Structure 1
Amino acid sequence: MRAVEWFENWFETSYYHTLYKNRDESEAQKFIERVVKQLDLKTGAKVLDLACGRGRHSQILAQLGFHVTGADLSKNSIQHAKTHISEEVEFIVHDMREPLKKSFDAVFNLFTSFGYFDHVSDNLKVLKSVRSELNPQGSFILDFLNSRHAIETMVPTEEKLIDGCHFHINRYVEDGIIVKKIRVIDPKNKVDTQYFEKVNAFSFDDLSKMLDMAGFKVVDVWGDYKLNKFEEKSASERCIFYCQPKL
């Protein structure tokens, strides 16, 4: 029997959405608008929001005039996303390692939704699937963290109280993987349990090599959501690749 992956447990629980309920929607809106301008996407373009979660980026892309497919492995997230569905968005449950039998003008993988798998080959599968889904002149945005910055600025322990739930968070690096251990104490529902978030601490070079192996050329790399240039050794918080298929 196949072992259940950490994300199959954590992303399906309501506590995941409680912990991250206060994300900056204004920042997300402005980031998407800046990226779309850089890509020069035309109204009506077909785009894929890969690992879309509850669809916040999908909805922004739809509002900008694109035909959007939002895909995520979490049935819970997709079910929620469909409650806010518009006719320009299709939400589907999908494993991003497997290619969709569709073609897109752009694919977005945002908010560190890459690097979850233990084996490098599985992470490479994701990129190869994206390559197969893109039109020859299409664009791919891979929004990853700057692992070096994340490790150097890591807060080892943190506690939060949200909606009556206590979150005890521990962060550490283990075997090249950035780990967040999350203990959830929910007195109302008599819950005391533990979840994990894990992401490979891929460097800029690691990501560049994987993208090349998957058939991409890198057009630009940004270090934050304002699209400033990426500097691995500086305070760049993000490592955002703008790629196109190699012809």
Structure 2
Amino acid sequence: MTKDTTTWFTSWFDTPFYHILYKDRNDTEAHAFMDTLTNYLNIPEGGTVLDLACGKGRHALYLNKIGYDVTGVDLSENSIAFAKQFENHRLRFDVHDMCKPYHKQFDAVFNLFTSFGYFDDDADNLKTIKAIKAELNTFGFGVIDFMNTDFVIDNLVPEEIKTVDGIDFHLKRYVEGGYIIKDITFTADNRLYNFQERVRGLTLADFELLFKQACVDLLDVFGDYKLHKFNTKTSERLVMIFK
């Protein structure tokens, strides 16, 4: 069995299997969210955006397409290597640890699709908020698009098998030690693989405390990608705007 022996996200996100499992993500929904969000924030034409934990760059690519100067950063070297093929004079990608401030400031910093709360050390969550603050210019906005933990736990599917590209991914989900955990087991190329995703089950109250500690102001909270009002029990997302 091949099992991750380092931080889970540095290994799992760097495998081709991660991208196979999640290949059906809804780009239409993601693009509509970017349209709605940039309009709501009134980011200036040609404005600068940092896509923090950008993966292979699906949000960054679209943001660039609709007129923004975009930098996408991610810890996954493989994902950034893939994304670099799409670079242009207003779109660039870089390997970067989001716990540390990037060397530029932006009109907006987007942390999208639950790309937060991975860390084993809770102090890194606060470091990331502080880093985002440092990455914002005087008029910039930070956005964290996280899961609504209460909704996710209430609707958790304990076990399922998802077949993608001929691979049977056995998924087991549970809550343990304040983390929402997904065990992922599958066989590919006659090898058995076992990975685990662990995301801290942060609530709005947890984020409010982090924002207070980082000396940033929470401006708006939404519950979905159409920016409807957040409801703890019924909203699928927790979208927070701050500066």
1:180-219 correspondence runs (5 A): 180-186=182-188, 189-219=189-219
Question: CA-to-partner distance for each residue in 1:181-239, whole Å, 9 max, x for gaps?
Answer: 000211xx11211001110001110011101211211111000111101011x310001
Cα distance in 2 between the residues matched to 1:216 and 1:231:
22
Residue 140 (structure 1) aligned to one of 135, 139, 142: 142
Cα distance in 1 between the residues matched to 2:67 and 2:180:
36
Q: Note if contact 1:165-1:185 (Cα within 8 Å) is conserved in structure 2.
A: yes
Partner of 1:242: 241
Question: CA-to-partner distance for each residue in 1:27-57, whole Å, 9 max, x for gaps?
Answer: 0000010000110001111110000000000
Aligned-CA RMSD value: 0.9
Letter aligned with residue 235 of structure 2: S
1:118 Cα shift?
1.5
1:1-247 correspondence runs (5 A): 4-186=6-188, 189-232=189-232, 234-244=233-243
Gaps of 5+ in 2: none
Letter aligned with residue 26 of structure 1: T
1:86 Cα shift?
3.1
Cα distance in 1 between the residues matched to 2:89 and 2:162:
37
Question: CA-to-partner distance for each residue in 1:44-101, whole Å, 9 max, x for gaps?
Answer: 1111000000000001110121110000000011111112233321100001011111
Letter aligned with residue 208 of structure 1: E
2:234 is paired with a residue whose SS is coil
Cα distance in 1 between the residues matched to 2:191 and 2:242:
44
Letter aligned with residue 108 of structure 1: F
Letter aligned with residue 237 of structure 1: E
Give percent identity, aligned residues only.
44
1:137 is paired with a residue whose SS is strand
Cα distance in 1 between the residues matched to 2:227 and 2:105:
26
1:216 is paired with a residue whose SS is coil
Gaps of 5+ in 1: none
Cα distance in 2 between the residues matched to 1:217 and 1:184:
43
Cα distance in 1 between the residues matched to 2:34 and 2:208:
22
Q: TM-score if structure 1 supplies the norm length?
A: 0.95
Letter aligned with residue 184 of structure 1: F
Aligned length in residues: 239
